Amino acid sequence: MKVDRLVSIIMILLDKERIGAQELADMFEVSPRTIYRDIDSINMAGIPVCGASGVGGGFEIMQKYKIDRKVFSTADLSAILMGLSSLSNMIRGDELVNALAKVKSFIPADRAKDIELKANQIYIDLSPWMGNRNIQPYLEVIKTALQESKLLSFDYADRYGNKTVRTAEPYQLVLKSSHWYWQGYCHKRNDFRLFKLSRISNLQMQEETFTPRDYQKPILDFEEILETLQTKIKIRIHKSVMDRVLDFCSYEDFSPDGDEHYIVRFPFIENDYYYTILFSFGDKCECLEPLHIRAEMKRRIYDLATIYKN
């Protein structure tokens, strides 16, 4: 959210005498050009930021300048509080508490109720309803290791349940599709890996530190790759599972089939993961086409029934 970044830049400029555009760009994972636009926005908001070129140059707020609380609108403060409060629900730390306190100090008494009301209109809770309760404490450990450049040791299970002991350098926390991951350089594989937190156990932060190396961020957008791998199959579903099927396709893929059912053009790849998705809909889903996938569904159902025969 841009307004969060702008406020963070202001706080950094207040805290530091001078900071370079590239350092800010690296800090917020944006381009230097974006930082220059942000500085222009801050200046337009009435906060005088000066730039100095050459060795030791960078941006700084004019000496003895005091921020006017009216610089931030009700919408600005509400958006910042909403973002910081939602993040603090999952990742706790003194810096988040301090940031919240600083932002709240900008709120005039006569606007406090209105801002609090707007900030609470959207609530984001990333904690799971049930399941792995190690996620929260592990996030804290990884966050500390990221800040202090310390190695992490842990047991990691692959999708078949095979465990290996790993040591890795942490570089980035990632929240993707309601699942937490972290990007690290794995000493066992001698390469960067994306680790899923739910597959981790016995996570420990080591005393040993590491020198951060150059790395590329993980690829998180597989839309183009999936389009080349996926085909559309035809399934018939009961309306009671429509909301779950919509997690994988759009309304445009649905066509009514009587009062209780829909025919759906469902994106599919012929592997265990996608067959498991179809089976998760139970008897509320029937694969119609193509015939070889329908036949494979029948074979898997037979194998499952065989387990319970005796």
The pLDDT tens digits for 251-265 are: 899 999 999 999 999
Distance CA 36, CA 23 (A): 12
Distance CA 193, CA 184 (A): 6
Dihedral-angle region of residue 22 (phi above 0 means left; psi in -120 to 50 means alpha; beta otherwise): alpha
200 lies in the same domain as 254 = no
Q: What is the pTM of this model?
A: 0.54
The residues with which 259 forms a beta bridge, in sequence order, are none
Q: What domain range is 281 assigned to?
A: 224-307
- Judge whether residue 235 has pLDDT over 60: yes
Question: Residues 264, 286: contact at Cβ < 8 Å?
Answer: no
Confidence of residue 70 (pLDDT cuts 50, 70, 90): low
- The predicted structure's pLDDT at residue 240: 94
pLDDT in tens, 145-174: 998 999 999 999 987 788 999 999 999 888
Query: For residue 60, which of 25, 128, 118, 12 has the smallest C-alpha distance?
Result: 12
Is pLDDT larger for residue 3 or for residue 13? 13
Residue 244 lies in a domain: yes
User: Which strand (E) or helix (H) includes residue 227?
Assistant: helix 223-229
Measure Cα distances from 75 to 4, 60, 171 in Å. 12, 26, 33
User: How high does pLDDT run on average in the chain?
Assistant: 82
Residue 197's CB is within 10 A of a number of other CB atoms, namely 21
Query: For residue 96, which of 108, 87, 109 has the smallest C-alpha distance?
Result: 87
CATH number of the domain bearing residue 114: 1.10.10.10
The residues with which 183 forms a beta bridge, in sequence order, are 172, 194
- Residue 61 backbone phi and psi in degrees, to 5: -85, 140
Q: Which of 209, 235, 258 is the C-terminal boundary of a domain? A: 209
Residue 217 lies in a domain: no
Residue 163's CB is within 10 A of a number of other CB atoms, namely 12
Confidence of residue 1 (pLDDT cuts 50, 70, 90): very low
Q: Which of 87, 119, 151 is the C-terminal boundary of a domain? A: 119
Confidence of residue 64 (pLDDT cuts 50, 70, 90): low
Q: How many domains does the chain have?
A: 3
User: Which strand (E) or helix (H) includes residue 186?
Assistant: strand 179-186
Query: Letter for the amino acid at 188?
Result: K
Q: Which of 74, 92, 119 is the C-terminal boundary of a domain? A: 119
266 lies in the same domain as 175 = no
Distance CA 102, CA 249 (A): 43
